[in-house]
Amino acid sequence: MSLVSIQAKDGSKVEFVMKDPCQGGVKDVYFSPDRSYVVAFFRKPLDFNGKDRLERLVSKYREGIFGNQGAEYWKNLFCWPEKIVEYNNMTGIVAPVYQPNFFFPPNTTLEGAEKEGKWFTSAKNFNRFVPETEKGNLLSYLRICINLSRAVRRLHAAGLAHSDLSYKNCLVDPSTGDACIIDIDGLVVPGLFAPDVLGTPDFMAPEVVATMKLDFKDPQRKFPCRETDQHALAILIYQYLFHRHPLRGSKVHSQDTEVQETLEMGEKALFIEHPTDSSNRYKIQKNDKDFLPWIDTNKLPYSIMGPYLKTLFNRAFIDGLHLPAKRPSADEWEEALVKTVDLLQPCSNNNCVKKWYVFDNSTKPVCPYCGTKFKGQLPVFDLYSSHDGKSFRPENHRLMIYNNQYLYPWHVLRNIFPNEKLTDNQKKPVAYFAFHKNQWILINQTLDSLFDVTNQKTIPTGSFVALTEGLQLLLSKDPSGRLVHVSLVKA
């Protein structure tokens, strides 16, 4: 073991331990003495464009991402290169070490391994290897998907594309809902930097797979870009929520493995849950019994994720599968996922594997994961908004109520969205719900103009209002304040 001390291109001192490097696809990675950062050297020399890309990554592009509002927030979602180094004719980058929660903890089957998505996107890996304490629940996976969508949205807003978005390049922690995009050094800048790689097989867009054998300069050849990121993001979201791949079904195109792969993921790609073409449904095998119900689309169809996500899955895997312009954007996924969180209900079965489920708008809600039926009264808030403070229109947004659930500023005001722009004050709850003396109530904590429209009275802070069928509440008299209509589902 030897300690190497060098100077980065920005003049700062960089140290790393020259011993047993971790080997990635194209880089050898060494730790700093205090293991707070890593130094990753490219095994092959970089050409001018490669070095120019790195220069921009650690300066212009880094400043574009982190130099504005929410800089600290983005540091949690990206493992972004910070410096460039040269050593023994090798070019390298300096990047922060992943947060500890992105490694499996001691005394588990995967002790010390990185929490790559492959452990959580495959039903077989998930059931066989992931410790129970690390499996997470439906809410945590929705949070993972929100974080990934938000990170991709930020990249695209900066004019960048990842080019190899996959479970290999996304670290996740289902126990907390945290996520982090890594391997940033291959970013695509349209018209300036072409992709170094075409992507990872499970996540390459059909148009890239279908044209990959064409000459590099052929105008019909398709390369990674923002639209291929959108395809990969949709794949990731589907896999994290269902632990199966949306395109790998049972349809056989060729006995030749390579040809089958090219057609299945390229020109002939077909959604395994296509509503009118069932030819690519996954057929349950005898050795699949231990991994049900995840791979059984009859028991857990994609529709169980509610209307917002079902609509986007249709656009991603039906309308936009072969028409990139129709694919949902990252910010559309982010919005739909946030609205889906508002549809969650906790399962009353303490042994339920997912702990939560999405309300299916039925009068007799049932958890799709364990079959437990909801019993009692289920309050529903339908949200309405106004642009003139007088006439209110439905937003296609509902909030499901459960005991001790909170109401937040982004529910109260339509011009607030729960993202990196939230202030500390906007992150605090303003009211909460409780089932008290056999009735549902809303306790006002800080709302200064909560108004009961039905009974024409103000609900002061510190007091409560009973939630009754048909009740209308104006959450705020601010011009962007929402009106809610209360329904009570009795099961």
The confidence band for 69, taking pLDDT boundaries of 50, 70 and 90, is: low
pLDDT reading at 435 higher than 70:
yes
Tokens 């802070």 — which residue?
A: 461
The confidence band for 285, taking pLDDT boundaries of 50, 70 and 90, is: confident
Instruction: Indicate the burial class of 140 (C-beta count within 10 angstroms; 0-12, 13-18, 19 or more).
Output: buried
pLDDT reading at 7 higher than 80:
yes
Global confidence as pTM: 0.95
Please tell me the predicted confidence (pLDDT) of residue 20: 82
Please tell me the predicted confidence (pLDDT) of residue 292: 66
Domains and CATH numbers, the chain: 1-97 (3.30.200), 103-341 (1.10.510.10), 376-490 (2.60.200.20)
pLDDT reading at 442 higher than 70:
yes
The confidence band for 21, taking pLDDT boundaries of 50, 70 and 90, is: confident
Average pLDDT over residues 258-271: 97
Average pLDDT over residues 13-34: 88
Please tell me the predicted confidence (pLDDT) of residue 71: 79
What pLDDT, in 10s, does the model give residues 183-234?
A: 888 788 777 776 767 788 999 999 999 999 999 889 999 989 999 999 999 9
38 contacts: CB under 8 Å, gap ≥ 6: 16, 29, 30, 31, 32, 94, 95, 96, 97
How far is it, in rounded angstroms, from Cα 318 to Cα 322?
Answer: 8
Task: Give the DSSP letter string of 28-67.
Answer: EEEE-TTSSEEEEEESS---HHHHHHHHHHHTHHHHHHHS
Please tell me the predicted confidence (pLDDT) of residue 291: 67
How far is it, in rounded angstroms, from Cα 81 to Cα 79?
Answer: 7
Mean pLDDT value across the chain:
92
Q: Name the token pair of 405.
A: 């659930």
pLDDT reading at 249 higher than 90:
yes
Q: Name the token pair of 429.
A: 């709850």
Q: What proportion of the chain, given as a percentage, has pLDDT over 90?
A: 75
Please tell me the predicted confidence (pLDDT) of residue 390: 75
